[in-house]
Structure 1
Amino acid sequence: MATRTVVSVVDDIDGFADAETVTFTYDGKTYEIDLARKNRDALAAALSPFVQAARSTSRKGAQRPKSSGDEDAAAVRAWAAGKGIEVSSRGRVPRSLREQYENR
């Protein structure tokens, strides 16, 4: 018998489905929040004047630091499930899927 697990990512603000995880850093601390399109747009609009006036601290070609393997794999699996992409609940996450997650 096969088992199918469906993970639905919902908006942390209003509970709507089809949310995506948004990561941002403020005052040296990194945060993640799951937001549907409406709230992602609202966050982007609220941050826009600050982002436009700010200086970028990232270096060209620098990659984002990775979290620990298990935690990172869980985040990739949750993101993939939210996108309807099937991925094994165990074992290694394919590199191509990790790259999609990192470039989201």
Structure 2
Amino acid sequence: MMAQKVQVILLDDLEGGDADETVSFALDGSSYEIDLSSANAAQLREALAPYIASARKSAAAKRTRGRSTSSSSSSRSSRSDTTAIREWAREQGLKVSDRGRIPSDILAKYEAANS
């Protein structure tokens, strides 16, 4: 049996020396991570502090990584509503499949009729 030891060494992305932590932040809909020394992490937090103090937390911060943050995703109906949307579409004489994605034009008509 062979053992392995994997060691991850963080390097400060600004200065190249040792990093103490990975700092995560988001701006304009994009999430970022940067490895920083304690001093550089403190400088980043100090620089952002006045903006954070005046800002409000958004629902986007609660989303899991990899999910879309576009506004169109929030207007789409949940999976539990797809049955109701399909039934409504058929009642309107619209052709919709039993499975798969509901076409956007049908979703738009449904939302317009039910809002």
More helix by share: 2
TM-score by length of 2: 0.49
1:22 corresponds in structure 2 to 23
Q: 1: distance between equivalents of 2:22 and 2:59?
A: 21
Question: How far apart are 1:58 and its partner, in Å?
Answer: 3.3
Q: Which runs of 5+ in 1 are unaligned?
A: 69-104
More relative contact order, 1 or 2 (CA 8 Å, 6+ apart): 1
Q: Deviations over 1:38-81 (max 9, x none)?
A: 0110000000000001122138xx8440349xxxxxxxxxxxxx
Q: 2: distance between equivalents of 1:55 and 1:4?
A: 43
1:5 corresponds in structure 2 to 6
* Structure 2 residue identity aligned to 1:38: A
**Structure with max Cα Rg:** 2
Q: How much identity, in percent, do the aligned residues show?
A: 39
Question: How far apart are 1:9 and its partner, in Å?
Answer: 0.9
Q: 2: distance between equivalents of 1:47 and 1:56?
A: 14
Show structure 1 runs of 4+ deviating over 3 A: none
Question: How far apart are 1:31 and its partner, in Å?
Answer: 1.1
- Corresponding residue SS for 1:8: coil
Question: How far apart are 1:36 and its partner, in Å?
Answer: 1.3
